[in-house]
Amino acid sequence: MCKAINANNHSHLQDLSYIKRAALISDKSAGFTSPHPNFGCVIVTPSVEVVGEGYLYAQGTKPAEVLAVEAAGERCRGATAYVNMEPGDCHGDDTAVSALVQAGITRAVIGMRHPLQHLRGNAIRALRSQGLQVDVLGEDMQSKLVEEARKACLLVNLPFVHRAASRVPFSVLKYAMTLDAVKYMGHFRQCFLDGIGKIAASSGHAAWISSKLSRNRVFELRGRSDAIIVGGNTVRRDSKYHEHHLCPFGNKVADPRLTARHGGGHMPIRIVLSQSLDLPEEANLWDLSDVSTVVVTQRGARRSFQRYLASKGVEVVEFDILNPRDVMEYFHDRGYLSILWECGGTLAASAISSGVIHKVFAFVAPKIIGGKNAPSPVGELGMVEMSQALDLIDVCFEQIGPDMLISGFLQPIPDLTPTIPSEDETFAIDPTVAPFETSIIFFYKTWDLYGAFSNFSPHPIQMPDEDGNYVTWFSVEHYYQANKFIGVSNPLAQDCIDKIKSAKSPEEAARMGRLTQRRQPHLVRSDWESVKIDVMYRALKCKFSIYPHLNSMLLSTAGSVLVEASPHDLFWGGGRDGEGLNYLGRLLMKLRSEFFGESSAASENTCIAL
């Protein structure tokens, strides 16, 4: 069975090898861009030669399939395309599918169906309707080796799969602990840490438990995360040592900035969960020069301190009742895929009990610190018998320098196969079909339904510069961010414009523009607040005028209210509770009305001509 040859002369084992390759390269931008669905594509000729590869660099950039086709050129004809996940064009078009079809690809091997219901099966049906042979792992191809390859495809998109299945971001609990009283129960696939291992000395000092090699691995984990969560105890403890202790080099021992330490790479935001808001005024986390901080607290807690944080630029989010589940649902709505918890034992126990922790990374150092009152990694869970212990799934043991890294899942990987539709099912939502009645259409991330309405969608536009010459911008977001600095007579402003224009992704352009605006406000044009709505409107009008499929999608929403579902942007978005001004949604609805008016006028003119 494993040596069977398919129509393109590729053996079963070769198919699996190339699909694993697609999964591997799909992860190449990890740490350099914020987490996003990972797509990889490998194109192989009938003579078994790899002629093209590509991967999605970031949300809003060229699809992996397009990049692979561009690399392969004419050699695509008659070739097989291997993709780790079903193409998911969320932007109102079928760019990836069209690229494969027009290039002459005759067969596609797909590692897994798309996790999102409104996309699942769409690309597979489209490819088959164009005459391509499409094989899906676990459906058209089955064996133990197939399951291993399919698992590789699942693992590389684990945050995306978990988010789609559970409606919360994929959460990893990470901690470093000493060897004190670590107990292993049963065989190696089951692991129980009894909580007596220490994450700090009795005094609270915790730098450093693990080795430099282990800390480098932590930086990698941070770079793969949208955000890092700590609790109030961690901030208070670290700030205490920030004030009173110095390391041998004269630097402060603790109070970490929680950086990813990846030159030019992705910087996750910092999230502080504190019910009482009993936090120090001096903390590195309030320094927003490199990355933002969000403080989540109970409604009404320390209003004066909230005002202080706001004056520093720190975002404060209040909950009526603060619990990890509600917090994770909130950050799911903000579009986050992956969150790293680097909190103390009290918050860790609460997060585990709430069912929001999916995976654990425990760095165990060959040290003994002792101390009756020394903190442990996980606080009270209410368990009184060893039989109640939580067993990790798919446990891995890895030696990192002198330390041992133990990792495993607290929750199983979601199984998508039960929700796979049959070929004749057509339940997938079509965003070009108008709703039957007035409704609210929310949009936000580019991979979600109506992702084309996002400024981050990969639709280049051409806009005139100050001299009337047309300039191409990779996205609306590129153009909008650069306009903050246009016309400013300072070489640094022009340098910023050039960097934004050449940014590889819309998210990178947004980060550059926002960071420069915050750090160097003197570079922002003086009339920005009065012209920014018009700048956005002109960019949106260009985008929805030059792409017919986007125009059709916008017109299909007639009668519906369009709302950018950003819970934190109260100007362009709708806000968490509808308190936002929703200017992006308003501009899109204004354009929709104008396009309808133009269509009606054109229709009347046609009738008159007849």
Q: How many CA atoms lie within 13 A of 422 on its CB side?
A: 2
The single-letter code of the amino acid at 528 is W
Exposure b/e, 25-58, CB count within 10 A at least 16 = b: bbbebbbbbbbbbbbbbbbbbeeeebbbbbbbbb
Strand partners, 319: 298
**DSSP letter assigned to residue 556:** T
Q: How many CA atoms lie within 13 A of 354 on its CB side?
A: 19
Residue the block writes with tokens 């934190």: 568
Q: Closest Cα partner for 447 from 49, 96, 136, 153? A: 96
Catalytic residue ranges: 65
Strand partners, 297: 274, 318
Crossing angle for the helix pair 528-546 and 548-555, to the nearest 10 degrees: 110
Rounded to whole angstroms, the Cα distance separating 124 from 112 reads: 11
Strand order in the sheet with 107-110: 50-55, 40-44, 80-83, 107-110, 133-136
Contact at 8 Å (CB) between 142 and 151?
A: no
Residue 340's φ and ψ, nearest 5 degrees, are -105, 120
Helices (H), strands (E): how many in the chain?
17, 18
Contacts of 251 (CB under 8 A, 6+ apart): none
311: its two tokens: 């004056």
